[in-house]
Structure 1
Amino acid sequence: MIDFPLLIICVVLTFFSALITTYIAQGRPFWRWFIIGMLLPYVSIFIAMIVAYLDQKKEKQA
């Protein structure tokens, strides 16, 4: 059985990962990126960084 403090730590880390994802994905729907961040905790940060990079690249070309 998982210890309760370990479970709390995992939930808090997942929550902060989701918040970081929504911060990186500024200008996009908050709740969509927050849910993505909760379902894919650390992968979503890299997905949001790639999306932000592609948006910047598109703006420079326009």
Structure 2
Amino acid sequence: MKNDNPSGRRLHFATAGQRLSSVLVFAVFAALIWAAWSGRYDREVNHVAGWMRTHWNALVH
């Protein structure tokens, strides 16, 4: 099967930054799925919420 490009130019593949971003997004989704499947999701969310509560001024200013 021919890999046709109707514009007549060469095909452009993802740059290194785009590939790294997609791997990072995949890793985040995989971590969220693992946390939900293992039952650690609520504990991790509470941990992050507690950290945000204690560091609120530094986050918003």
Q: Name which one, 1 or 2, has greater alpha-carbon Rg.
A: 2
- More helix per residue: 1
TM-score, with structure 1 as normaliser:
0.40
TM-score, with structure 2 as normaliser:
0.40
